[in-house]
Amino acid sequence: LLVYDSGPGDGGEFNLVDQVLVPAMLQSGYRSPDRIIISHGDLDHAGGLRRLRELFPLAQLHANLGSEPGEQSQCARGLEWTWDDIRFQVLHPSRYLPYLHNDSSCVLSISLGSSSLLLPGDISTAIEDRLVRQGIGRHQVLLVPHHGSKSSSGAEFLARLQTRAAVATTGLGN
């Protein structure tokens, strides 16, 4: 089981891990994630990380938090693994870039055969353009970058992905 981002919270006591993530895992038959990826340090993505680490200390953690790595490794281009023929590949950021907040989001491509999903965090069109220049391929499903804000989802990026379905995560009132 992979958890990509912990959801919102204040980095301390308030988060949605116990109310949302844990029940979803248990409903799916999992008791613990094998890996946790935190795309970047904004609290709407990393706000529940502390609680995840308390509950699942043995899960591998890859995160881009804007601070020196502690118990986690950086989520950076070149990180790849395979589970049951499903390929996971981090496409961005380069491990040599400085922390750029949203644009340091861990971009994860997940594929099985000809089916694929792209989890881009909160990248902007500047990073989308970089991914296009680097040859990003088709992805049938896209988690819309930066919650569907106008800073993301450029025409060239979307044309290259040829996405069939897009999912936008938004908060109340957005």
| Mean pLDDT value of segment 156-163 | 95
Question: In the beta sheet, which residues pair with residue 35?
Answer: 2, 60
Q: pTM of the predicted model, to two decimals?
A: 0.92
Per-residue confidence (pLDDT) for residue 69, from 0 to 100: 54
Listed residue (75, 8, 68, 9) closest to 36, CA to CA? 75
Output b/e per residue, 135-159; b: 16+ Cβ within 10 A: ebeebebbbbbbeeeebbbbeebee
d(CA 150, CA 155): 12
- Contact between residue 98 and residue 90 where contact means Cβ atoms under 8 Å apart: no
> What pLDDT band is residue 169 in, cutting at 50, 70 and 90?
confident
Per-residue confidence (pLDDT) for residue 46, from 0 to 100: 94
74 or 108, higher pLDDT: 108
Per-residue confidence (pLDDT) for residue 68, from 0 to 100: 57
With 0-12 CB in 10 A as exposed, 13-18 as middle and 19+ as buried, what is 168? middle
| Mean pLDDT value of segment 148-154 | 81
| Mean pLDDT value of segment 108-134 | 96
Per-residue confidence (pLDDT) for residue 71, from 0 to 100: 60
Q: 29-33, 69-73, 165-169: which has the highest mean pLDDT?
A: 29-33
Residues above pLDDT 90, as percent of the chain: 79
* 3 state DSSP class of 89: strand
Per-residue confidence (pLDDT) for residue 9, from 0 to 100: 93
The DSSP element (H or E) to which 156 belongs, if any, is: helix 155-161
> What pLDDT band is residue 72 in, cutting at 50, 70 and 90?
low
The pair phi, psi for residue 146, each rounded to 5°, is 45, 45
Strand residue runs (E) in the chain: 2-4, 35-38, 60-63, 80-83, 86-92, 107-112, 115-119, 141-143, 165-167
Distances (CA, A) of 55 to 80, 115, 165, 173: 25, 32, 33, 31
Taking only the tens place, the pLDDT of each residue in 20-66 is 999 999 999 999 999 999 999 999 999 999 999 999 999 999 999 98
Per-residue confidence (pLDDT) for residue 153, from 0 to 100: 87
| Mean pLDDT value of segment 87-110 | 94
